Chain A
Amino acid sequence: MFRLQSSKVLAVDMTGDAVKAKNGSMVAYDGEMAFKKLSGGGEGIRGMVTRRLTGEQMTLMEVKGHGTCWFADRASEINLVALQGDKLYVESSNLLATDGALRTGTDFTGLRGASQGNGLFTTTVEGHGQAALMSDGPAVLLRVSPQYPLTVDPGAYVAHQGNLRQSFQSGVTFRTLLGEGGGEAFQIRFEGDGLVYVQPSERNTIAGDV
């Protein structure tokens, strides 16, 4: 029921079911729709408290109805991800919409968050259904296998899924402190088996300044 109307507009056809979407991302709809804010981003009190504590802010709304609803946000490119019982890790700022049936939560991701100013936590999406991710420019899907680990710029990282370990790498040296760094002082390294979504643009991170 998720389809791309253009690379930047998501169309969702609904027959009485519900989707969760980023607050205020509806651009148009036909038919009958109701919009309800999910307090604290869903998952009840516990989710709300974790979110408050972790700073992984996510304001979601529930859209329910009959007809077609179109979503878009700041002209970001949209990528559809189908989940079959697996778990997707995504920066909350990159999540546009998910099937109502998918569970959303927060997860500890280690030090990576610190370099992004997004906190140490990331948003997870789990279950069976579709999710729509946003990226600045069309995202590429890179496969990680045990033989081929992947290193990503934190500012270009969008999401990942599969059985991956991530570690934070710092290339900060004496030269960096002198202002002679290569501009790639921090990286995230993924090892294991899975997929990583990378966007062709770098959002502002602390790493970008060193």
Chain B
Amino acid sequence: MAFREINAKMVEATVAPGQRLFSQRGAMLAYRGEVSFTPNMAGGRGGLMSMIGRRVADEDTPLMTVEGSGTVLFGHGGHQVQVIELAGDTLYVEADRLLAFEGTLEQGTVFLGAQGGVMGMVRGQVSGQGLFTTSLKGHGSVAVMAHGGVIEIPITPQRPVHVDPQAYVAHHGDVRNKLSTALGWRDMVGRGSGEAFQLELSGSGAVYVQASEEKL
């Protein structure tokens, strides 16, 4: 069971008995069949530590569990939707960008501040990206939201990628990230190019970047 893209801003999911999926609360547009939607309390999402992590990190977008038998249409806020297939690897994504994902995926919260030392800590403050991010691991598909659609840029050890923190959507693979600055004295006196901070992603994997600097 995967998500079927209806158009750029809507996906359709099929639910069958014994299967479930999670979606952002309020993101259901329509459904057919016998489908129930129940609020998902912090349970089943990576245990106590990750629950505390989410509370502290504000990485706590409310989810609902979707179960039953039928098809459900999802969409939210007119944002463009992208389906990402996971084959055993881990996807890192900001919680508020998660539209829906299959119940077969294991969800957790990752502390990213540990990466990149002090600059990693500063990153959250500067970029508006939390120090915590949601991780999804396993086999299944995930629907993420972006403003203006996303492009996928491969990251290889030879070619690290720098991303505008506001345009960053998600990444997967074995990727390290750190905040890099291009801050010179010119920027201090207000003559910057507007590209003072960048997220540097290195390793191997891919990063999803949206066509906009707007947060959701």
What residues make up the interface of A, taking CB atoms closer than 8 Å to B? 5-9, 23-31, 33-37, 39, 59, 61-62, 67, 70, 72-76
- Say yes or no: is B58 at the interface (Cβ < 8 Å to chain A): no
- Say yes or no: is B10 at the interface (Cβ < 8 Å to chain A): no
- Give the residue of B153, B164, B212 whose beta carbon is less than 8 angstroms from that of A26: B164
CA distance A74 to B149 in the complex (A): 11
User: In the complex, what residues of A have CB within 8 A of residue B212's CB?
Assistant: 8, 27, 72-75
Determine chain B's interface SS by DSSP, over half rule. Answer: loop
Residue of A nearest to B184 (CB): A36
- Give the residue of A7, A28, A39 whose beta carbon is less than 8 angstroms from that of B207: A28
Are A9 and B160 within 8 A (Cβ)? no
Determine chain A's interface SS by DSSP, over half rule. Answer: strand
Given A6-B211, A73-B212, A74-B214: A28 and B193 interface contact (C-beta under 8 Å): no
Are A27 and B194 within 8 A (Cβ)? no
Pairs of residues from A and B, 3 with the lowest C-beta to C-beta distance, nearest first: A75-B148, A24-B194, A8-B211
Are A75 and B210 within 8 A (Cβ)? yes
- Chain B: number of interface residues, binned into ranges: 20 to 34
Number of A-B contacts defined by CB within 8 Å: 93
User: In the complex, what residues of A have CB within 8 A of residue B195's CB?
Assistant: 24, 26, 35, 61
Are A28 and B194 within 8 A (Cβ)? no
Which residues from 129 to 155 on chain B have a C-beta closer than 8 Å to any C-beta of chain A? 147-149, 151, 153
User: In the complex, what residues of A have CB within 8 A of residue B209's CB?
Assistant: 9, 27-28, 70
CA distance A75 to B211 in the complex (A): 5
User: In the complex, what residues of A have CB within 8 A of residue B153's CB?
Assistant: 28, 30, 70
Residue of B nearest to A38 (CB): B193
Are B159 and A30 within 8 A (Cβ)? yes
What residues make up the interface of B, taking CB atoms closer than 8 Å to A? 80, 147-149, 151, 153, 159-164, 167, 182, 186, 191-195, 207, 209-214
CA distance A40 to B145 in the complex (A): 36
Are B167 and A72 within 8 A (Cβ)? yes
User: In the complex, what residues of B have CB within 8 A of residue A73's CB?
Assistant: 212-213
CA distance A29 to B155 in the complex (A): 11
Are A8 and B213 within 8 A (Cβ)? no
Are B182 and A24 within 8 A (Cβ)? no
Residue of A nearest to B79 (CB): A75
- Give the residue of A9, A26, A30, A36 whose beta carbon is less than 8 angstroms from that of B211: A9
Are A37 and B151 within 8 A (Cβ)? no
Are A8 and B148 within 8 A (Cβ)? yes
Residue of A nearest to B196 (CB): A35
Point out which of A30, A33, A35 has the most chain B C-beta atoms below 10 A from its C-beta. Answer: A30
Residue of B nearest to A24 (CB): B194
CA distance A27 to B162 in the complex (A): 8
